[in-house]
Structure 1
Amino acid sequence: MFEKLKTFCKIIVPLTDEELKLIDTHFEIKVLNKKAFLLQDGKICNFIGFIADGTIRHFHIKDGVEKTCDISFENSWVTDFQSFTHNTSCIMNLQAMEDTTVFVIRKENLYKLYNECNKYETFGRLMAEQVAQRATEIAMSLSSDKPEERFQHLIKTQPDLFQRVPQKYIANFLGVSPESLSRIRNRVFKKLKS
């Protein structure tokens, strides 16, 4: 049932079959239809999720306008760390961009898992480091890269993004209008063809 997660975990930390079985008792499966929310602002986030299949958009609302902060695919972890660690209301929304399956571990089960097998604590630290690194990369890109450079990076790192996520959300993530994204896309593809 949780084979994708088990395979992912084994790549990061060497786990025995017995240690891998702990996943079955600590995680649960959430199946989301397209546009359904895994998390909405104002709620307290008490879980961490692993995307087994599908896509999740991370966004918040500022002055009535949605701001896309990230888009996550399979084998990615999703949560609102601020809310999760401090037990406060979150400002982040996590929404499925297509039918999505997420393996969820609640905070209390996560701590139980850490106590039962310290390898999972190591795994959790490594995953938190990856999430922090991704957040830093996004922040640096938004502050120093031109939209065209961010677009080219997306094509290189997430080529199927454009088939799976509506253009308006990609534009929002890049910090441009959908019309500007169309122009950037045309320019980049012209350069690639020549």
Structure 2
Amino acid sequence: MKNYTHLDQVVETMSDNYSLLTDDCKNDIKASCKLVSLKKLSLIVKEGQFADKMYFIAKGCLRAFYLKDGKDITDWFAFEGDFVSPINSFFQHCPSKHNIESLENTTFLEISRETVFALTSEHHCFERLGRIAITKIMLQLQERIVSIQFETAQQKYESLISVRPDILQRVPLTHIASYLGITLETLSRIRNPKNRI
């Protein structure tokens, strides 16, 4: 996917990738949302924060992670063309259990909860876009659960690489290992067949 960092282009990309939006809907999005650019390793959402925004990534990469007993556990990655938000906090008005940070210099469209609900009520095409985006996320979650339950470390790694071939160039190995639920040493052994026992 191309990286677009102008508001018109970002809205067009959203429309092209999820569901065609009417001109009126596009204009309302542009009038009520804003593009935000952040440097690498910026925190967008902090654990305990009440999150009322959703993000559509135009350029860059974000990760969601927990801190448990002082340990950093990566839960999710999002790249160009993905929506991301601490879903429980966004929809249930509770403190976020996640932190979300940028792993690269990142530009995203910031959409407030109020705007999401207003656009959904006003524009059927935006409601349809929301359904498609949520379905995509649910399918990814279902695949992740199956991977965690049934795949070996090698299979988890290969599945991730098949879906996201560029991830090794964009995400530190420590975060990839954490996401896969394996140690960095195991990941290193998987990546280098000469090191396998």
TM-score (norm 1): 0.92
Aligned residue for 1:89, secondary structure, equals coil
> Could you tell me which of 117, 123, 126 is aligned with 1:111?
117
Aligned residue for 1:91, secondary structure, equals coil
Deviates more, 1:100-109 or 1:114-123: 114-123
- Aligned pairs for 1:35-50 within 5 A: 35-50=41-56
- Aligned pairs for 1:8-157 within 5 A: 8-157=14-163
Q: Is contact 1:56-1:97 (8 Å) kept?
A: yes
Aligned residue for 2:36, secondary structure, equals strand
- Aligned pairs for 1:166-185 within 5 A: 166-185=172-191
Query: 5+ unaligned residues in a row in structure 1: which ranges?
Result: none
Deviates more, 1:18-27 or 1:135-144: 18-27
Which one-letter code corresponds to 2:139 in the other structure? Q
Per-residue deviation, residues 32-55 of structure 1 (Å, max 9, x unmatched): 111101111000110110011001
Aligned residue for 1:176, secondary structure, equals coil
Which one-letter code corresponds to 1:100 in the other structure? T
Distance in 2 (CA, whole Å) between partners of 1:95 and 1:73 is: 12
Which one-letter code corresponds to 2:79 in the other structure? F
Per-residue deviation, residues 77-109 of structure 1 (Å, max 9, x unmatched): 100111111100011111100101111100011
1:187 deviates by: 2.2
Which one-letter code corresponds to 1:142 in the other structure? I
1:171 deviates by: 0.9
Which one-letter code corresponds to 1:74 in the other structure? E
TM-score (norm 2): 0.90
Distance in 2 (CA, whole Å) between partners of 1:11 and 1:60 is: 29
Aligned residue for 1:44, secondary structure, equals coil
Distance in 1 (CA, whole Å) between partners of 2:177 and 2:17 is: 33
Distance in 1 (CA, whole Å) between partners of 2:24 and 2:36 is: 24
Aligned residue for 1:94, secondary structure, equals strand
Aligned residue for 2:141, secondary structure, equals helix
Q: RMSD of aligned C-alpha atoms?
A: 1.8
Q: Is contact 1:6-1:23 (8 Å) kept?
A: no
Which one-letter code corresponds to 1:56 in the other structure? L
1:8 deviates by: 2.6
Q: Is contact 2:47-2:97 (8 Å) kept?
A: yes
Q: Is contact 1:49-1:78 (8 Å) kept?
A: yes
Which one-letter code corresponds to 2:111 in the other structure? I
Distance in 1 (CA, whole Å) between partners of 2:111 and 2:46 is: 17
Aligned residues: 190
Distance in 1 (CA, whole Å) between partners of 2:39 and 2:136 is: 27
